[in-house]
Structures are given as structure tokens and as C-alpha cells.
Amino acid sequence: MRDVITNLIKNYDGIGRYLDRNAMDSLKSYFETGTARVVAATTINANAASIVKQGGLQLFEEVPELLRPGGYAYTTRRYAACLRDMDYYLRYASYALVAGNTDVLDERVLQGLRETYNSLGVPIAPTVRGIQIMKDMVKNMVKEAGIEDTSFIDQPFDHMTRELSEQDI
């Protein structure tokens, strides 16, 4: 897993250049949001079970057919699998928040996931909606923790939803 700094240095080293103004601005931005990133990760860690539980409840309220016979979350086993997956997304989003980089999501979560879900018949749209619900919950909690600008929280959650939603044309 790489963070913003490691990724930046790797890219500049690969082309044999010194860090330029753009690189320095990127580093400055990363360090300026460092405390907020730690607050966000701490908030997620302290509230993960609640975020997943409440996120699942909201998702099933919005898409009740998931819980009906024939729905993906019908049966205790499938319901538990859905919440387990939501927990994975939340945990890896917290890693990506701290790193300021979505590489960990691509490497550990998203690679082949859409194809796996499609082959198993897992609906993508509710999965995406569940991730969005958790993002909104985290943003509200972080804001309540005193962080005004929570826009950095969008990056990992939006990356996952975009990658899962991507359609081959």
C-alpha cells in the first residue's frame, strides 16, 4: 500500500525529475489535511459497528426487496454477508483516507470484485448505495468531531462506487 508521498516520489523517480511546484503543492495539501485524516480514521474505528449496522438498516429501508424471498439479503447468511462486505468497504476506506491514496482499494478490494459480484448475482446498485450511505454517515460524524472541511472523505468512497458502477461499453 502506498501513500501520497510514496506514490509521488515513485512517479518523479521513475521519470528522473526533481520534485516540482505541483509535487510540493500536493505534499502541502496532504500534510495540511493530516490531522483531519487521523480524526476521520479514529472516528471510523470507534464507530465502525454502528456505521455498518445503521448503514445496513438504511439500505434495507430504501431497498426492502433485498430482504424479501429471492432478494440478495434474504436468509441470515446472505444478510450477514452483506454487512460483512459493508464492513470491508468501510475498513479499507479508512486505510485509503489515512494514506491519501486509493491504491489500497484497487489492490485489496476492487480488483475483480465487480466480476465476482456479477457471477454470484450480487446486485451492484445496492452495494454502491450502501457505500454512499456510509460515506454520508462518516462525513457527518467527522463534522461533529470538529472537522469543517470533510471533502477529503469523498475520495475513497467515491472511488469505490465509481469503480463498482463502471460499465463496459
Check whether residue 5 and residue 73 sit in a common domain: no
Check whether residue 9 and residue 26 sit in a common domain: yes
- pLDDT band with cut points at 50, 70 and 90 for residue 169: very low
Check whether residue 155 and residue 90 sit in a common domain: yes
Q: How many Å apart are CA 113 and CA 103, to the nearest integer? A: 15
Check whether residue 53 and residue 134 sit in a common domain: yes
Check whether residue 142 and residue 68 sit in a common domain: yes
Check whether residue 6 and residue 44 sit in a common domain: no
Q: Which domain holds residue 15?
A: 1-32
pTM as predicted: 0.89
Over 90: is that where the pLDDT of 47 sits?
Answer: yes
Check whether residue 81 and residue 41 sit in a common domain: yes
- Candidates 96, 129, 89; CA nearest to 110 is 89
pLDDT at site 156? 98
Residue 93 sits in a domain whose CATH number is 1.10.490.20
111, 138, 161, 167 from 143: Cα distances, Å: 31, 8, 22, 33
Check whether residue 90 and residue 19 sit in a common domain: no
Check whether residue 78 and residue 128 sit in a common domain: yes
Check whether residue 14 and residue 72 sit in a common domain: no
pLDDT digits (tens, 9 = 90+) for 51-79: 999 999 999 999 999 999 999 999 999 99
Domain count, the chain: 2
CB 132 within 8 A of CB 161: yes
